[in-house]
Amino acid sequence: MNGQGRVSPGSAAPAEERGCSWLNVWVFLIFALAVKAAFVALCLWLVVPFCHSSDQPSALQQQFSQWECDSAVPQGTDGGWTCCPKGWKRFQGSCYFLSSDTMSWSESAQNCGGMGSQLVVISSKAEQDFLSEQIKQSKEPKPDNFYIGLFAEKEGQWQWVDKTPYNETATFWREGEPNFLTGENCTVMHVHTKPPNNWNDISSSLKNHRICEAAAVIV
């Protein structure tokens, strides 16, 4: 015979003991969910500033850790912020870098590519006006020329670095340019020429400043 207050091995546990067991399970589940939520929030906080649409150059993300963002997003996008690397200028959906040092045209193209960008391709008067204003504001000593992404492999056969078709009616050459002097197969924007017509053809071996362009990052 079992003594009072004792439960045989095959008997059910008291109701209060079963209640405590279920309470422990619920406490554990709530704790686990809270930890998971905190982990997801941490991941989003770390990752979101560097997420961008799949058509953005990944090298741009890899090269820069500091970004400047605003909430003015291009029409038709779902993102809430438009971002450029710190120190770059934004216009519409693009970021622009105006260099303070000088290189040849091929070195300039390579340098832009190393930053996940390209020498600028100018596709509208609005973009031309924006860039003309930016080069006017360049710091002292005042530079003369900025390379852009327009070149000619053969005399007179101009093309853009991204294969955008060359449209002669949408160009901004200085009066009398391009003049096709020997070796003048690349294009610069000339700081001291009144815009918008400030393009000049020069030799690719000359060292000049450069304008790099990359698509803005939408987050």
Token code pair at residue 44:
């989003």
d(CA 199, CA 193): 9
Residues 200 and 101: their CA atoms lie apart, in Å, by: 19
- 122: which 2 tokens? 């100018």
**pTM score:** 0.71
If you classify domain 57-218 with CATH, what class do you get? Answer: alpha beta
Mean pLDDT by 10 residues, the chain (219 residues): 46 50 64 58 39 48 82 60 92 94 97 95 96 86 88 91 92 92 90 94 95 91
* CA diameter of the chain: 118
| pLDDT at residue number 156 | 82
- β pairing state of 145-152 and 209-215: parallel
Find out whether 198 and 159 touch, Cβ atoms under 8 Å. no
pLDDT given at position 191: 92
User: Does the CA dihedral 139-188-210-206 come out positive or negative?
Assistant: negative
- Distance from C-alpha of 14 to C-alpha of 20, rounded to nearest angstrom: 10
CB atoms within 10 A of CB 6: 7
As a whole number of angstroms, the distance between CA 160 and CA 166 comes to 7
Residue 167's pLDDT is: 92
Type of residue at 31? F
Take residue 32 and report the two structure tokens written for it: 């686990």
Q: What is the pLDDT of residue 80?
A: 75
Tokens for 210, please give them. 């450069």
Q: Let me know: does 121 contact 214? Beta carbons within 8 Å.
A: no
String of DSSP letters for 98-110: E-SS-B-HHHHHH
Residue 156's CB: how many other CB atoms inside 10 A? 9
Tell me the DSSP string of 135-148: HHTPPSSPP-EEEE
> Measured between alpha carbons, how far is 61 from 7 in angstroms, rounded to an integer?
67
